[in-house]
Structure 1
């Protein structure tokens, strides 16, 4: 019995179904770290700021939104979770929504000391 040597995507490509099942296809955000803070920019055109909820549940940032267009009978929702590898100062997180872009800034807390040397007694 031989195992496939190529990535799963390439040998599942002919079936089309599994690869589409696990791909989101959305590239609607940018996340980077600069000057001791994470900066997250999320494209959310068409939402009103009152329809967007941003919440912090250490170490995960939740971004959710819901928009109902009564005239067209349409409802749009958005939900993403972002996990952060460093300790974030949750009291200093800020969010701003401008021209369809939500920008969240998450300051990184100064790392705790690397430890204390313990004296060995004899």
Structure 2
């Protein structure tokens, strides 16, 4: 007979969900065929929304408490990298009492996206509005090269 403890059961459930989430988000990067979005492959763990319109790709991310100076958006070798860092504020006890619980901590994130061929690297814009970062990447016309036939010779 085993002793059942509700807190241990809750911990086991939480750990199971943590491993499920970690494995499901990582396996798509090891085997891209497992990802549902095959037009835009991403790496990282900061949740972001990706939208596609006829004229652009739009990536949105929550960045609460961050200023534009805290965010870095770079494009290199067909990869868009979005990074952010929020420094912890100095907290001082005031006349109104002491801190009982402090949950807002310093945090940082980095997320990279391999962009499709029709993404225009010269037309990328980033805007931070009320704690939401929006990165817009314009689309451009790309000639469909199709499959290239290679001639087979003898000798």
TM superposition score category, shorter chain reference: 0.5 to 0.7
Larger radius of gyration: 2
Structure 2 segments unaligned to the other structure (5+ residues):
1-12, 26-44, 92-104, 147-155
Equivalent position of 1:43 in the other structure: 62
Task: Encode CA deviations 1:14-35: one digit per residue, 9 max, x unaligned.
Answer: x8274254356x6732111112
Q: Which TM-score applies when normalising by structure 1?
A: 0.68
* 1:98 positional shift: 0.3
Q: By percentage of residues, which structure has more strand?
A: 1
Equivalent position of 1:10 in the other structure: none
Q: By percentage of residues, which structure has more helix?
A: 2
Q: Distance in 2 between matches of 1:78 and 1:105?
A: 19
Relative to structure 1, the CA distance from residue 50 to residue 36 in structure 2 (aligned partners, 3 Å threshold; closer, same or farther) is same
* 1:46 positional shift: 1.3
Which of 92, 117, 125 is residue 86 of structure 1 equivalent to? 117
Aligned residues: 101
- Taking only aligned residues, the RMSD between alpha carbons, in angstroms, comes to 2.7
Structure 1 segments unaligned to the other structure (5+ residues):
1-12, 116-122
Please give the secondary structure, in 2, of the residue aligned with 1:47: coil
**Structure 1 residue ranges (4+ consecutive) displaced by more than 3 angstroms after TM superposition:** none
Task: Encode CA deviations 1:40-59: one digit per residue, 9 max, x unaligned.
Answer: 11111111110100001232
